[in-house]
Structure 1
């Protein structure tokens, strides 16, 4: 997984993984990633069902990002946000779990977690029923979260 190679190469202080939550109206930092893969086929057509992400790994990991601070800061600055208590079982959960497993198993002092973002207006043009945010608001909201880490 490329993101794990980046963690090893860059040695960051924090990893905020981002993913699309089409249909959501708020930014949702994820609280928990579980050691389970399930869902529809990915972009390569691979479909995984009821499999562990890390065989023998812990059942779950909690985000080590300050997700409550993220939500409070976003809401204070006019960006709707709330904590989500599960990253699901699809690709976003896989990324969150994998990064947190690396951080935990290698005792890295890295804050890590996952944040789901609503669709952009550009995507909503292609799928008109999706609620959406402007690119500028999405970008600025991510900056707010980064600033909460300093």
Structure 2
């Protein structure tokens, strides 16, 4: 059976909730298959998030990995195309770690491209009336670190993997911050899963240096 691994994050930086974690829980609560869905909410820590993700990959051997995280200030769903081999934290993670100018994985490539069909995902989400775009910067915090971990260590084409940033959920958004209803965020993730399963991707560019 085809297995999909879908992850979000716990709250961080003083927020009471994290829409990525809330949305993946909502997707899991209403999942009807036919694929096997494995859902996890990762800690917002460089060490813990990567370790848990890799343990999930070893345990479940997923065919598709879609990791998600919050990008406060963005107005829509952002489907990330590139993960940098870089940890450069503006603020500490939830364990107090704040790496600066460190590689995510030593002796690994400078970057990895997503092996999800990023343009098709963004187009299908927009076709459903939910704002979305392809993004070329996943940042240098734990989100980017997890995306790099999902893509590193395998051969291109082994699995479809990547990362999606989501805005605040309207139900819990700080005043003045752009947001989307949590139900729309969850629907966007369902679309991302289905598009990833149904779209063939050329993985020839996906590994190695970005240049």
* TM bucket normalised to smaller: over 0.9
* TM-score normalised by L of structure 2: 0.67
Deviation of the 1:146 alpha carbon:
0.9
Q: 1:108 to 1:77 in 2, by over 3 A?
A: closer
Larger RCO: 1 or 2 (CA < 8 Å, sep 6+): 1
- C-alpha separation between the residues in 2 aligned to 1:84 and 1:139? 19
- For structure 2, the 5+ residue unaligned runs are 1-50, 199-211
**Equivalences, count:** 146
Deviation of the 1:108 alpha carbon:
7.0
Aligned to 2:147: 96
Aligned to 1:137: 184
Q: Secondary structure at the match of 1:102?
A: coil
Runs (4+) off by over 6 Å:
none
Deviation of the 1:136 alpha carbon:
0.8
Give the counterpart of 1:75 among 126, 138, 149.
126
Alignment deviations for residues 37-74 of structure 1 (CA, whole Å, 9 cap, x no partner) = 00110011111000011111100000000000001101
More strand by share: 2
Retained in 2: the 8 A contact 1:29–1:115? yes
Deviation of the 1:147 alpha carbon:
1.1
Deviation of the 1:86 alpha carbon:
1.4
Q: Secondary structure at the match of 2:171?
A: helix
Alignment deviations for residues 83-123 of structure 1 (CA, whole Å, 9 cap, x no partner) = 0001111111000001101334xx77111000001111233
- C-alpha separation between the residues in 1 aligned to 2:149 and 2:53? 9
Retained in 1: the 8 A contact 2:76–2:179? no
Aligned to 1:11: 61
Aligned to 2:26: none
- C-alpha separation between the residues in 2 aligned to 1:43 and 1:59? 26
Matched, 1:55 2:106: yes
